[in-house]
Amino acid sequence: MPELSIQLQGVSLCYRLAKQRIPSFKEYAIHFLRGSLSYEQLWALRDIDLKVAKGETLGIVGRNGAGKSTLLKVISRVLKPTQGSTAIRGNLAPILELGSGFDYELTGLENVYLNALLLGHSRRDIETRVEDIIDFSGLGDFIRAPLRNYSSGMQARLGFAVATAWVPDILILDEVLAVGDATFTAKCEERLRRFHDAGSTVILVSHSPKAVLDNCSRCLWLDDGRLRADGESAKVLDLYLRQHGTDPGEHEAGKLRTPP
């Protein structure tokens, strides 16, 4: 049995949505006294069992709202599951969304520090890597400009450069490779391979079958919060694409067959 890096057991996560939004304490008290507090439960993840060995590269596919991002948030300890247990070993480098943790008024360089500090690195640690980070991001003189002037591609480059400046035990990427240009995507994939060789676990959410196929040996298919398939990337993607084809015509046909 290889060393486990991530283990989820019976993980379910429920977003409790108030039927009427109750944002204030005053309204909450009124509704509470009337006994009219009601919630709608939205189960974003249902009973997920998952074991990921150290050094595995795992892709996650699924339609919008299938629970992919929620699963990544559970793995990166941002959200605590409603039920079930999680065991995550090692340090994380999560990139859950473009520009998470960026301050748009600060310059790129100041954001490098802020972002790396948020990831739990010490100032001295950052100083030794800052040159590499700027170099990898390829932003050149833009690094001294405020972040609000950056395009989304530039933000992605900077975010990726900071998060991957240290070899993590677990790297988590949510749909970030898609926004960069081809050269940068190639650079990112090269870095992913290097991490893989160094023994990091990589988890990648993507809507691009090619990105999953190129970077991941194993793939999960999430559907409505449940694990629909788990296995070799080529096989799972084949199943997935057969149901939700990339071809629009096929997609329509698939939709028609599903009862409303």
Partner 1 sequence: MIEIYRYRDLVLALVARELKVRYRRSAIGFTWTMLQPLLMMLVLQVVFSSLFRFQLANYPVYAMAGILFWNFFSQSIVSSMNSLRGNAQLLKKVPVPKAVFPISTVASGVINLIFALVPLLLILVITGHPLTPALLFLPVAILLAALFTLGAGLLLSPLSMFFNDIVEMITVLLSVLMYLTPIFYPKEIVPEKMRWIVRFNPLRSILEVFRDPIYYGKVPPWSHLTVSCLIVLVALAVGAYAFRKSSDRIPFYI
Chain contacts with partner 1 (rule: CB under 8 A)? 15-16, 23-26, 28, 73, 76-80, 92, 94, 96-97, 100-101, 113-114, 117-123
Query: Which lies closer to partner 1 via its Cβ, residue 169 or residue 233?
Result: 169
Q: Count CB-CB contacts under 10 A for residue 250.
A: 14
Residue 124 to residue 207: CA distance in whole angstroms: 37
Least distance in angstroms from the C-beta of 241 to partner 1: 29
| Sheet bearing 83-88, strands edge to edge | 39-53, 4-18, 83-88
Over its C-alpha atoms, the chain yields an Rg (Å, rounded) of: 20
Task: Mention every residue, 6+ apart, whose C-beta is less than 8 A from residue 199.
Answer: 54, 55
From residue 65, give the alpha-carbon distance in Å to each of 33, 194, 208, 224.
35, 31, 16, 7
Cβ closest to partner 1, residue 29 vs residue 198: 29
Shortest distance, position 249 Cβ to partner 1, whole Å: 36
We find the least distance from the C-beta atom of residue 115 to partner 1, in angstroms, to be: 9
Shortest spacing between CB 97 and partner 1, in angstroms = 5
Residue 73 Cβ vs partner 1, minimum distance, rounded to whole Å: 8
Q: Considering the complex, state which of residue 77 and residue 235 has its C-beta at the smaller distance from partner 1.
A: 77
Question: Considering Cα of 87, then 90, then 95, then 99, what sign does the dihedral take?
Answer: positive
Closer CB to partner 1, 17 or 253, in the complex:
17
Q: Pick between residue 34 and residue 124 the one whose CB is nearest to partner 1.
A: 124
Minimum Å gap between C-beta 94 and partner 1 is 6
Contact predicate 239/227, CB 8 Å: no
Structure tokens at 112: 């490098």
CB closer to partner 1 out of 121 and 218: 121
Give the residue with the Cβ less far from partner 1, 65 or 120.
120
* Contact assessment for residue 46 and residue 226, using Cβ atoms and an 8 Å cutoff: yes
Cα–Cα distances in Å, from 40 out to 19, 89, 240?
6, 34, 30
Least spacing, CB of residue 19 vs partner 1, in Å: 16
Mark 24-61 as b/e (b = at least 16 C-beta within 10 Å): eeeeeeeeeeeeeeeeeeebbbbebebebebbbbbbbb
